[in-house]
Amino acid sequence: MGNFQKLRVWQLAKELAVRICNLANEEPVSKDFGFKDQIRRAAISIPANIAEGDELGTDKQSTRHFFIAKGSSAELMTLLIIGSEIGYIKEEIMDSFISDCRIISVMLAKLIKARS
């Protein structure tokens, strides 16, 4: 505990958040402020909650934040699917991001199990 930047799951989640923020700055996503804000917040929430959880003093507190990060990953997947279906995000880009979300979710599940 306490060195979240060394966690591979945090590294992947942070990279995903950066890529999502870059996507949010491109049209047509950038034109829809509500969608842009929501997709960025969901993406940023994943590494932020991993970091916060890893810095907390107990496994119980840590796993709570890891569960929140896992939920944010599902939220991000949902927003990506909706973004694709309304024509904001190309399907191949969506597929790549969703694949990353699934990997992060699996890693978080393993981290939760290890800390429980």
One-letter amino acid identity for 104?
I
How far is Cα 16 from Cα 22, in angstroms, rounded to an integer? 10
Considering only CA atoms, give the Rg of the chain: 14
C-alpha closest to that of 57 among 114, 1, 116: 1
Distance of alpha carbon 64 from its chain centroid, rounded?
Answer: 15
**Residues of the chain below pLDDT 70:** 1-2
Tell me the longest C-alpha to C-alpha distance in the chain. 44
What pTM does this model have?
A: 0.95
Q: What is the 3-state secondary structure (H, E, C) of 67-113?
A: HHHHHHHHHHHHHHHHHHHCCCCCHHHHHHHHHHHHHHHHHHHHHHH
Q: What pLDDT shows up at residue 40?
A: 98
Domains of the chain, with CATH numbers?
A: 4-115 (1.20.1440.60)
> Would you tell me the crossing angle of helices 59-85 and 33-55 to the nearest 10 degrees?
160
